[in-house]
Amino acid sequence: MKGKTLSAAEKRFHNAVSSLGCIARRLDGRLNLLVSIHHIEGRAWSGAHLRLLPLRASRHQDGTGMPGLIAIHPWKRRFENRYDAQDKLLQRCHGLLAKAGAA
């Protein structure tokens, strides 16, 4: 995997955000705890491991789930129209973590 190695704080955040389950699935009123981490702006720059979303595979990469599901890759605009801008989804994740006492 490309990108810089996670710091201890980044690893804790990664694990905490993963524990939320798929944020898109939550917005659909369901819970799926199996996630694939999506880095909002890629994973090679400083801070990238703190700007991520927990997504199930079928919401992360097209062709990995049932037909008709909107994956962020390659359908970013469609995904954001359906679920909200990625920064807002990240804020929602922070809110869920704070509510759970994990932030």
- For the chain, what percent of residues have pLDDT higher than 90? 78
Confirm whether 1 is domain-assigned.
no
Average pLDDT over residues 34-59: 92
- Residue 79 included in any domain: yes
Please give the biggest Cα pair distance in the chain: 38
Specify the CATH number for the domain of residue 58: 3.30.40.190
Confidence (pLDDT) at 103 = 57
Nearest to 92 by CA among 44, 33, 22: 22
Q: Report whether pLDDT(35) > 60.
A: yes
2 domain residue, yes or no:
no
Does residue 3 fall inside a structural domain? no
- Which domain, by its residues, includes 27? 8-100
* pLDDT above 80 (res 55): yes
Nearest residue to 85 (alpha-carbon basis) of 58, 51, 57, 61? 51
Query: What pLDDT does 40 receive?
Result: 96
- Residue pair 37/48 in contact (Cβ under 8 Å)? The answer is no
pTM of the predicted structure, to 2 decimals: 0.90
Q: What's the domain count of the chain? A: 1
65 in any annotated domain:
yes
**Is 82:70 a contact under the CB 8 Å cutoff?**
yes
Residue 89, domain member (yes or no): yes
Q: Which helix (H) or strand (E) holds 88?
A: helix 86-100
Average pLDDT over the chain, rounded to an integer: 92
pLDDT at residue 24 tops 60 = yes
